[in-house]
């Protein structure tokens, strides 16, 4: 009989590519998978998947009450369903996931997508930060199977808890099955995207503070509106304020803003860009040592990149020669870097050609083997 894996995550599932890929991989290799997420006002519709995917309708929409409500309701849900292995994604689901698994005497696998205690928004909330730190300090040492998104986060957690984590990067599939479910949506988007300009793309479901997007918007004041056009696609804490900034600066003719999309539809936009941007600031540990999902989405779509000089980003860009770096977050400097790239089409073409090496070497078909090895280890040790 197939082992039943219960997967928990606080996202609304529609935009979470990493969780979907893990669930699909487990399902494709003989596991029965049940995924549980949240549903808030404004959550995108969820397409049918090859595994069970359900969402908890939330009353509270943000702040600590949202997390408290989700964990309470998730815990009750987990007590009522059968599972052989529990997989929690990020610390914000672990109170319910770990406790339910402990009561049921089942193993827990933990996928930490970030260095949680440095998450944007916790730095100015000392009480909330203290609560999460106590939760992490209690649960983390009691976990046996843990993986994260990059080597730098492994090193940070090794320092904090003397735990050896596995690295599982959030890489796209080499071979993607297009569903065609979003034809109407994509037709509308196509009408909003200029066809006679170079497209610069900034995408991300978490467009929050310290991401460099405000400076990017202001940088467009220095660039030729007849030649370049910026697409900002996604959502996040400062998304509405970014839209306000665009209106205030009168930049609506050179910038198009598109709200967050299902990841299947987002790929369609990514492929149309000529340059992808990831401009996280180094003043946050998660940014300084993290590995943004968007970098691989760009490169797999054949799109060269302009990025901040951050540890993991430098490794990728320098190793594969697929783009360039900004040195500061001054809008004029960002504009100068963008302009320089488009003044050298030969170099841009070389970078674009090199993205194929990334696609062939760094893809989910290869990376997913690490996840499967972890679950095989869990099964072997559970039998003992």
Q: With respect to residue 335, please indicate whether it lies within any of the assigned structural domains.
A: yes
* CATH number of the domain to which 155 belongs: 3.40.50.2000
Confidence of residue 260 (pLDDT cuts 50, 70, 90): confident
pLDDT in tens, 16-44: 899 999 999 999 999 999 999 999 988 88
- Considering the domain architecture, whether residues 356 and 293 belong to the same structural domain is answered as yes
Domain range holding 106? 4-171+364-383
The residues that bridge with 56 in the sheet, in sequence order, are: 38
335, 297: one domain: yes
Q: Is residue 300 part of a domain?
A: yes
Q: Evaluate whether residue 177 is within a structural domain.
A: no
Q: How confident is the model at residue 191 (pLDDT cuts 50, 70, 90)?
A: confident
Alpha-carbon span 379 to 384, nearest angstrom: 9
- How many angstroms separate the CA atoms of 365 and 243, rounded? 37
Question: Is residue 188 located within the same domain as residue 43?
Answer: no
Q: Do both 249 and 308 map to the same domain? A: yes
Tokens representing 87 are 């997989």
156 part of a folded domain? yes
β-pairing verdict for 275-278 and 305-308: parallel
Q: For residues 250 and 64, which has the higher predicted lDDT (pLDDT)?
A: 250
Query: Which run of H or of E encompasses 227?
Result: none
| 283 within some domain | yes
Domain annotation covers residue 95 = yes
Kindly state whether residues 141 and 15 are assigned to the same domain.
yes
What is the domain count for the chain? 2
Same structural domain for residues 204 and 134? Answer: no
**Residue 178 pLDDT exceeds 70:** no
Pair 222, 352 in one domain: yes
Examine the domain organization and report whether 16 and 106 are in the same domain.
Answer: yes
Q: How far apart are CA 384 and CA 382, in angstroms?
A: 5
Asked whether residue 188 falls in the same domain as residue 273, the answer is yes
pTM, two decimal places: 0.92
Residue 178 placed within a domain: no
């Amino acid at each position: 009989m197939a082992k039943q894996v219960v997967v928990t995550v606080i996202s609304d599932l529609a935009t979470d590519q990493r969780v979907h890929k893990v669930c699909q991989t487990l399902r494709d290799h003989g596991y029965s998978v049940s995924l549980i997420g949240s549903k808030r006002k404004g959550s995108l519709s969820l397409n049918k998947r090859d595994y069970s995917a359900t969402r908890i309708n939330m009353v509270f929409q943000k702040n600590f009450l949202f997390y408290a409500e989700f964990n309470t309701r998730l815990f009750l849900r987990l007590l009522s369903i059968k599972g052989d292995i529990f997989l929690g994604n990020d610390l914000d689901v672990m109170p319910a996931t770990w406790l339910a698994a402990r009561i049921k005497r089942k193993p827990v696998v933990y996928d930490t997508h970030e260095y949680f205690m440095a998450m944007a928004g916790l730095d100015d909330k000392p009480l909330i930060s203290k609560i999460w730190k106590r939760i992490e300090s209690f649960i983390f040492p009691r976990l046996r199977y843990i993986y994260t998104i990059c080597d730098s986060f492994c090193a940070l957690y090794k320092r904090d808890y003397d735990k050896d984590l596995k690295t599982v990067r959030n890489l796209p599939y080499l071979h993607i099955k297009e569903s065609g479910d979003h034809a109407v949506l994509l037709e509308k988007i196509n009408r909003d995207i200029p066809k006679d300009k170079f497209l610069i793309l900034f995408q991300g479901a978490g467009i929050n503070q310290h991401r460099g997007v405000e400076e990017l918007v202001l940088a467009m004041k220095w660039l030729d509106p007849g030649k370049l056009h910026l697409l900002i696609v996604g959502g996040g804490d400062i998304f509405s304020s970014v839209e306000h900034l665009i209106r205030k600066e009168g930049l609506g003719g050179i910038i198009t803003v598109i709200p967050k999309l299902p990841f299947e539809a987002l790929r369609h936009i990514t492929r149309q860009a000529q340059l992808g941007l990831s401009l996280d600031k180094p003043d946050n540990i998660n940014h300084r040592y993290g590995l943004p999902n968007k970098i691989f989405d760009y490169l797999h779509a054949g799109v060269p990149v302009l990025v901040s000089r951050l540890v993991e980003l430098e490794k990728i860009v320098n190793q594969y020669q697929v783009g360039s770096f900004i040195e500061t977050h001054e809008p004029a400097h960002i504009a100068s870097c963008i302009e320089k790239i488009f003044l050298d089409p030969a170099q841009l073409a070389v970078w674009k050609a090199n993205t194929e090496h990334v696609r062939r070497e760094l893809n989910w078909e290869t990376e997913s083997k690490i996840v499967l090895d972890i679950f095989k280890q869990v099964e072997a040790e559970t039998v003992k």
